[in-house]
Structure 1
Amino acid sequence: MQQFSAKELATLINSRLIGDPEQLVGADVVIDSRKVTPGCLFVAIVGENFDGHDFVSQAVASGAAAVMVDRELEITAPQLIVTDTVAGLSELAKGIVAKARAESGLISLGITGSSGKTSTKDLLSQILTAAGNTVSPPGSLNNEIGVPITCCRVDHDTDYLINEMGARGIGHISWLTSIVPPDIALVLNVGVAHLGEFGGVEQITKAKGELVEAVPEDGWAILNADDTQVAKMATITKAKIGWFAVDKQPEISAELVATAEDIELDRLARPSFTLRMQFGGEVSSYPISLQLSGRHQVANAAAAAAAALAAGVAPEKIAVSLNRAKAQSVWRMAITQRSDGSIIINDAYNANPESMAVAVQSLHHMVAEQQKKYPKAKGIAVLGDMLELGEESAKWHHKIGASLRIDEVFAIGEYAEDIIAGARSSGIDGKICEHKDILSLLQVQPGDVVLLKASRGIGLEAIAGQLVEGVEL
């Protein structure tokens, strides 16, 4: 954020101020005392396992210029006293965004979907960064703390602000859009991720649709023409509608359409395709070769292109940025080629049925390609739980196991038995194992392809890290 005096911050969030009102604060807003920067604002968040108030003195000693707290503390730095620091952080973010909109014409973009949010955000960020000053969250900061933290990075020079918007229930995205109203809403898909929390696909659709409902009439809702649940959202907004699609031009009359066609994958499942962009009566096509693995990245690229068109970026600049784009977030289809010719796919950041299915498809493709050079190359999957699927958890884990067309599968977690039962129904050797035993059980040979994927809490990234230890990434 730009610099404010402590008094200006107190006015912005309607808080009580203790300490020097003229103390300058900025540019960072920090919630982790280990990441304090000189002159920053430290916000003391009360979490399930910690209380940020216990670290306020450490933050001030490390250089924080002021703190936001819910009670007065014995420190020398100015204190912004609020009832709830999460709410106070949100008010700060809201004020900073509103000020930037008034002063610089900031364009706000929101992204939601059951899968692909972070990968699409990373692609869109690289397109917009080439076009202007862009603020985008690192990783997956998409909740009631992550979104405000991202918004607080905006200053008077920011042209574009990108936010991922996740939801754990009805009303969550509406609340996030009250902090940062979108000029452009991008909805990728509606799947069964978090099914256990929502209770059904219709409820998930309603939650994702809250982003579309928040767009003003002069804004844009960018929708997936290939997803029937997303396509229906065109009826819940008065905003302009743009579309993206894969494989064929959608049978929709619209001013803005981005379509990816003629898709081919290389040996590492990196897609090349033709990107057709239609906007304002002009139609142009460009060859795109992504440096990211997985056919699903094609839809992410088309979605990012459509959103960038709505933000005013020229088609040729979109194409250049997509061809240059690199992976920016960790443990998402991260490919490492070892010296013996084997390949490790670290996709261990998170998992749901949709993202698991596309990872398995990439594994199948890479194994087939490897066998052209290494006839004995095996496909090996190390899979863990997909969390938050509720009563249908066993079904989805069995379904993933049954979809495998590889040589070996190792499963870990509460639903490991269901994965293995599915795999064995397809004639695949499978083993249920403990986290500590995986490395000793894996017998990776030259040319083999190993996929590691599970929900974040399973921790398979540590196993992937050991498999590639010493390999230059």
Structure 2
Amino acid sequence: MRLTLDDLATATGGSLHGDPTTVIDGLSIDTRSLAPGAGFVALVAERDGHDFVPAAVEAGATGVLASRPQPGVAVPVVQVEDTASALLAVGGLARSRLPDRVVGITGSVGKTSTKDLLAAVLRSRWVTAASERSFNNEIGVPLTLVGAADDTGATVVEMGARSPGHVALLCGVARPTAAIVTSVAAAHLEMFGSIDEVARAKGELVEALPPTGVAVLNAEDERVRAMASRTSARVLTYGLGEVDAEVRAASLELDELLRPRLRLLTPWGDAEVSLAVHGAHQAANAVAAAACALALGVDLDDVVEALAGATVSGLRMEITRAPSGAVVVNDAYNANPTSTLAGLDALAALPAAGRRVAVFGPMAELGAEGDRLHREVAAHAAGRGIRVISVAAPGYGIEGIDAVADVDSAVALLGDLGDGDAVLVKGSRVAALERVATALLAL
């Protein structure tokens, strides 16, 4: 979005040093990915963004948002008290210039994939802006809004919940007019304490909707379904199979690479849908995306066509056959108990697999319940006949688990793989277990 430096100064209450008519096109906090013409925000976190202002200017930044003087900088500077707060304010300004077709998505599992699928469908009708990867916090949300093109017709904003009130804060900036809540599960328990507290935090999204909005709720999750009482917006439910929902998938089947085929049943008509993404759980994400898009006015035929070619962000159920002939399921972006159990079920569902092995890293931020939840995942794997190799994750420690200290040891322990073998790689982001998948795909 094109904004002037005067716009930034007005929105943030900052002092402008330089030409007020200077234009920025979007904002960046990273000089490595800054597009020429964008503005640079000098955030102060583990590293001080002010140290990178010269590099940002060299990379083509046309303006800088900073919290201390920047003498000698060759572009205009808006100086504010706090750049993080200022970024939120600029996000709010950008939102005021977007049409009231803004979708917020939250949930313990599936929000990024649902965001990707919904954005693909909305693009069949409007220029659509959407969060990159998992940019779902107080930095990512305003960057998404400011990064929207001037002719944007629809915006999809992913919203994570790190503590009570966090989603409400993000809604105050993005002001969503539609919402999808995918699930409430045992994620981030270290911060919330209980799954009911997680539900309360996720429900802040539907509370923020206007009466003219629409809340798309997962009817299969009782805590999500109960959020209908927390909004004045229209409620549209979705689910799989025989669940009592207005939009649902029937006749769900998976092909040999676990790509779902289903019959979509909706108030707008029924249709056969084939997905390009992998995993039975993606069927629910696709149905959620379809429900929201249909409610916003996208034609059913366009929904079906868009879903057939839609992809999701990397490291999420990427199923690839290695040169060795083994199938590698790279789901290493993140992990919590619900998504890890789904990964195990997907691994078990692969046809003609001989040896099935799960390489697991830790599931982070589970608090006092962590060891129990890790053991339950390990027991589920054992019940499915799946061997588990844990990497720097002692919490899985039940009999029969192979525990190793690092990625190289895990790859070595897997040994020679070939036709009929299948390996699932999954762990929280801190584990970076995609390195295992990369090594296996090179064999």
TM-score, normalised relative to structure 1: 0.90
Task: Show structure 2 runs of 5+ residues with no match.
Answer: none
Q: Given that residues 109 and 339 in structure 2 are in contact (C-alpha distance below 8 angstroms), is that contact kept between their aligned partners in structure 1?
A: yes
Matches within 5 A, 1:63-142: 63-74=60-71, 75-100=73-98, 105-142=99-136
Deviation of 1:38 after TM superposition, in Å, equals 2.0
Confirm whether residue 263 of structure 1 aligns to residue 248 of structure 2.
no
Cα separation, 2, equivalents of 1:21 and 1:284 = 52
Cα separation, 2, equivalents of 1:235 and 1:358 = 29
- The residue that corresponds to 1:399 in the other structure is 376
Task: Give the letter aligned to residue 363 of structure 1.
Answer: L
- The residue that corresponds to 2:292 in the other structure is 307
Q: Secondary structure of 1:130's match? A: coil
Confirm whether residue 149 of structure 1 aligns to residue 143 of structure 2.
yes
- The residue that corresponds to 2:6 in the other structure is 7
Confirm whether residue 321 of structure 1 aligns to residue 306 of structure 2.
yes
Q: Secondary structure of 2:97's match? A: helix
**Shift in CA distance, 340/38, structure 1 to aligned 2, threshold 3 Å:** closer
Q: Secondary structure of 2:25's match? A: coil
1:220-263 alpha-carbon deviations (Å, 9 max, x no partner): 1111111110111111111111111110251x6xxxx2110111
- The residue that corresponds to 2:207 in the other structure is 213
Deviation of 1:407 after TM superposition, in Å, equals 4.7
1:338-393 alpha-carbon deviations (Å, 9 max, x no partner): 23421011111000001001100000011xx124xxxxx20011011101110000
Q: Secondary structure of 1:33's match? A: coil
**Shift in CA distance, 249/394, structure 1 to aligned 2, threshold 3 Å:** closer
Which residue among 191, 194, 214 is the counterpart of 1:197? 191
Cα separation, 1, equivalents of 2:138 and 2:255 = 39
Matches within 5 A, 1:50-449: 50-74=47-71, 75-100=73-98, 105-250=99-244, 257-278=246-267, 283-326=268-311, 328-366=312-350, 369-371=351-353, 377-404=354-381, 405-414=384-393, 416=394, 418-421=395-398, 424=399, 429-435=400-406, 436-443=408-415, 444-449=417-422
Q: Given that residues 136 and 163 in structure 1 are in contact (C-alpha distance below 8 angstroms), is that contact kept between their aligned partners in structure 2?
A: yes
Q: Given that residues 127 and 318 in structure 1 are in contact (C-alpha distance below 8 angstroms), is that contact kept between their aligned partners in structure 2?
A: yes
Q: Given that residues 222 and 307 in structure 1 are in contact (C-alpha distance below 8 angstroms), is that contact kept between their aligned partners in structure 2?
A: yes
1:148-204 alpha-carbon deviations (Å, 9 max, x no partner): 100101243110010000011100000000001110011111111111210111111
1:289-325 alpha-carbon deviations (Å, 9 max, x no partner): 1111111111101111111112111112111111222
Task: Show structure 1 runs of 5+ residues with no match.
Answer: 372-376
Cα separation, 1, equivalents of 2:338 and 2:122 = 27
Deviation of 1:403 after TM superposition, in Å, equals 0.5
Cα separation, 2, equivalents of 1:454 and 1:289 = 28
Deviation of 1:420 after TM superposition, in Å, equals 3.9
Count of matched residue pairs: 438
Confirm whether residue 452 of structure 1 aligns to residue 434 of structure 2.
no
Cα separation, 2, equivalents of 1:37 and 1:260 = 41
1:1-56 alpha-carbon deviations (Å, 9 max, x no partner): 12x33223212322110122232x22131100122222210000111x20000000
Q: Secondary structure of 2:123's match? A: helix
Q: Secondary structure of 2:32's match? A: helix
Cα separation, 1, equivalents of 2:37 and 2:401 = 55
Q: Secondary structure of 1:8's match? A: helix
Task: Give the letter aligned to residue 340 of structure 2.
Answer: M
Deviation of 1:125 after TM superposition, in Å, equals 0.7
Fraction of identical pairs, as percent: 38
RMSD of Structure 2 on Structure 1 (CA): 1.4
Q: Given that residues 356 and 423 in structure 2 are in contact (C-alpha distance below 8 angstroms), is that contact kept between their aligned partners in structure 1?
A: yes
Q: Given that residues 260 and 298 in structure 1 are in contact (C-alpha distance below 8 angstroms), is that contact kept between their aligned partners in structure 2?
A: yes
Task: Give the letter aligned to residue 28 of structure 1.
Answer: G
Cα separation, 2, equivalents of 1:262 and 1:432 = 40
Q: Given that residues 185 and 211 in structure 1 are in contact (C-alpha distance below 8 angstroms), is that contact kept between their aligned partners in structure 2?
A: yes
Runs of 4+ off more than 6 Å: none
Q: Which moved more, 1:30-39 or 1:201-210?
A: 30-39
Task: Give the letter aligned to residue 6 of structure 2.
Answer: K
Cα separation, 2, equivalents of 1:303 and 1:407 = 31
Task: Give the letter aligned to residue 214 of structure 1.
Answer: A
Deviation of 1:469 after TM superposition, in Å, equals 2.4
Cα separation, 2, equivalents of 1:202 and 1:129 = 35
Q: Given that residues 195 and 390 in structure 1 are in contact (C-alpha distance below 8 angstroms), is that contact kept between their aligned partners in structure 2?
A: yes
Cα separation, 2, equivalents of 1:267 and 1:86 = 47
Deviation of 1:271 after TM superposition, in Å, equals 1.3
Task: Give the letter aligned to residue 277 of structure 2.
Answer: L
Q: Secondary structure of 1:26's match? A: strand
Q: Given that residues 409 and 430 in structure 1 are in contact (C-alpha distance below 8 angstroms), is that contact kept between their aligned partners in structure 2?
A: yes
Cα separation, 2, equivalents of 1:309 and 1:249 = 19
Cα separation, 1, equivalents of 2:100 and 2:148 = 9
Task: Give the letter aligned to residue 69 of structure 1.
Answer: A
Q: Given that residues 106 and 158 in structure 1 are in contact (C-alpha distance below 8 angstroms), is that contact kept between their aligned partners in structure 2?
A: no
Deviation of 1:143 after TM superposition, in Å, equals 0.4
Q: Given that residues 220 and 242 in structure 1 are in contact (C-alpha distance below 8 angstroms), is that contact kept between their aligned partners in structure 2?
A: yes
Cα separation, 2, equivalents of 1:407 and 1:56 = 51
Task: Give the letter aligned to residue 242 of structure 2.
Answer: K
